Amino acid sequence: MFELWGALTILIVCPLLGAIPLIAWITYAITGKNLAKLGTGNISVSAAFYHGGKLVGILAVLSEAFKGIAAVLIARAFFGEGSTWELIAMIALVLGRYSLAKGAGTTNVVWGFLVHDPLVAGFIGLLAAIGFTVLQSKKLVKFGVLLLLPIFEIVLHAEDFPRVVAAIGLAGLLGWIYTRIPDDLKLPVQGAKSESKPMLEFLGGDIKLFSLNEDLDESIVGHKAAALSQIKRWGYPVPKGWILTPNDDVDAVIDFFQPSELSPLVVRSSAIGEDSESASAAGQYLTILNVTSEQGLKEAIAQVIASYDHPTAVQYRRDRGLPDQSMSVLVQQQVQSVYSGVAFSRDPITQQGDAIVIEALPGSASQVVSGRITPEQYRAFVVETENFSSVQLEGTGRVPQAIIKQVAFLARRLEKRYYGVPQDIEWSYDGQTLWVLQARPITTLLPIWTRKIAAEVIPGVIHPLTWSVNRPLTCGVWGEIFTIGLGDRVLGLDFAETATLHYSRAYFNASLLGEIFLRMGLPPESLEFLTRGDSLSKPPLLATLRSIPGLLRLVQREMDLEQDFKRDYREKFVPVLSQLAHESITDLEASLIWRRIELILDVLRLGTYYSIFAPISAAVRQKIFRIKEGQIDHSVAPEVAVLRALSTLAQTAKQILPEFEPEKVFEQLDQTPEGKNLLYDFNELLQDYGYLSEVGTDISVVTWKENPQYVQQLFVQLMQGNDPQPDGVDPINQVFSGKRKRGSVQRRVDLKGRVTEVYSRLLAELRWSFIALEQMWLKSGWLTQAGDIFFLEFEEIGSLIANPDLEIGTQLQKLVQKRRSQFVQDSEITQIPLLVYGHTPPHPLPPSPLYSDQVLHGIPASHGQAEGKVKVLRNLQTIPEIDKDTILVVPYTDSAWAPFLVRAGGLIAEAGGRLSHGAIVAREYRIPAIMDVRGATWLLQDGQRVRIDGSRGIVELSNDLRPE
Q: Give the model's pLDDT for residue 733.
A: 43
Cβ of 828: how many Cβ atoms within 10 Å? 8
CA distance 688 to 268: 70
Contact yes or no for 330/243 (Cβ under 8 A): yes
What count of residues does the chain have? 964
Helices (H), 689-738: 709-720, 731-736
pLDDT in tens, 554-613: 899 999 999 999 999 999 999 999 999 999 998 899 999 999 999 999 999 999 999 999
**Which DSSP helix (H) or strand (E) runs through 145?**
helix 138-156
Contact yes or no for 791/816 (Cβ under 8 A): yes
Q: pLDDT under 70 in the chain at which residues? A: 1-2, 101, 123, 125-143, 183-208, 274-283, 320, 365-373, 385-387, 525-545, 722-738, 806-809, 846-853, 876-879, 894-900, 914-917, 924, 958-964
Q: Give the model's pLDDT for residue 206.
A: 46
Count of alpha carbons within 13 angstroms of residue 295, beta-carbon side? 0
Interaxial angle between packed helices 590-625 and 561-568, expressed in degrees from 0 to 180 and rounded to the nearest 10: 160
- Evaluate the CA torsion angle 32, 36, 40, 42 in order and state its sign: positive
Going by the DSSP 8-state scheme, the letter that residue 520 receives in this structure is T
Count of alpha carbons within 13 angstroms of residue 113, beta-carbon side? 25
| CA neighbor of 177 nearest in space, from 113, 90, 112 | 90
SS3 873: coil
Count of alpha carbons within 13 angstroms of residue 906, beta-carbon side? 28
* CA–CA distances in Å: residue 731 to residues 626, 629, 632, 695, 750: 17, 12, 10, 33, 18
Q: In what order do the strands lie in the sheet with 389-394?
A: 389-394, 376-384, 356-362, 339-344, 423-429, 434-441
| CA neighbor of 857 nearest in space, from 356, 386, 379, 355 | 386
Residue 324, beta-bridge partner list: none
**In 13-88, beta strands by DSSP E:** none
Contact yes or no for 163/157 (Cβ under 8 A): yes
Contact yes or no for 440/423 (Cβ under 8 A): yes
Cβ of 736: how many Cβ atoms within 10 Å? 9
Q: Give the model's pLDDT for residue 428.
A: 94
Contact yes or no for 538/417 (Cβ under 8 A): no
CA distance 95 to 99: 6
CA distance 154 to 774: 84
* CA–CA distances in Å: residue 103 to residues 11, 139, 542, 609, 682: 19, 17, 11, 38, 68
Contact yes or no for 790/769 (Cβ under 8 A): no
CA distance 498 to 396: 42
- Evaluate the CA torsion angle 353, 359, 365, 368 in order and state its sign: negative
- Evaluate the CA torsion angle 898, 903, 907, 913 in order and state its sign: positive
- What are φ and ψ of residue 362, in 5° steps? -65, 140
| Amino acid type, 574 | V
CA distance 454 to 505: 8
Contact yes or no for 837/424 (Cβ under 8 A): no
CA distance 207 to 220: 16
Tell me whether the omega of the peptide bond preceding residue 459 falls within 30 degrees of 0, making it cis: no
Q: Give the model's pLDDT for residue 703.
A: 93
Cβ of 840: how many Cβ atoms within 10 Å? 8
Q: Give the model's pLDDT for residue 961.
A: 46
Q: Give the model's pLDDT for residue 333.
A: 94
- What are φ and ψ of residue 804, in 5° steps? -65, 135
Going by the DSSP 8-state scheme, the letter that residue 521 receives in this structure is T
Residues 6+ apart with CB under 8 A from 929: 861, 862, 906, 907, 908, 909, 918, 919, 922, 923, 950
Residues 6+ apart with CB under 8 A from 508: 449, 450, 452, 453, 454, 498, 499, 527
Going by the DSSP 8-state scheme, the letter that residue 37 receives in this structure is G
Strand 448-450 to strand 210-211: parallel, antiparallel, or no bridges (unpaired)?
Answer: unpaired
Report the Cα–Cα distance between both ends of the chain, in Å, rounded. Answer: 80
- What are φ and ψ of residue 475, in 5° steps? -65, -40
| Amino acid type, 417 | R
SS3 279: coil
Contact yes or no for 421/210 (Cβ under 8 A): no
DSSP output for 601-630:
HHHHHHHHHHHHHHHHHHHHHHHHHT--GG
Contact yes or no for 452/527 (Cβ under 8 A): no
CA distance 905 to 883: 7
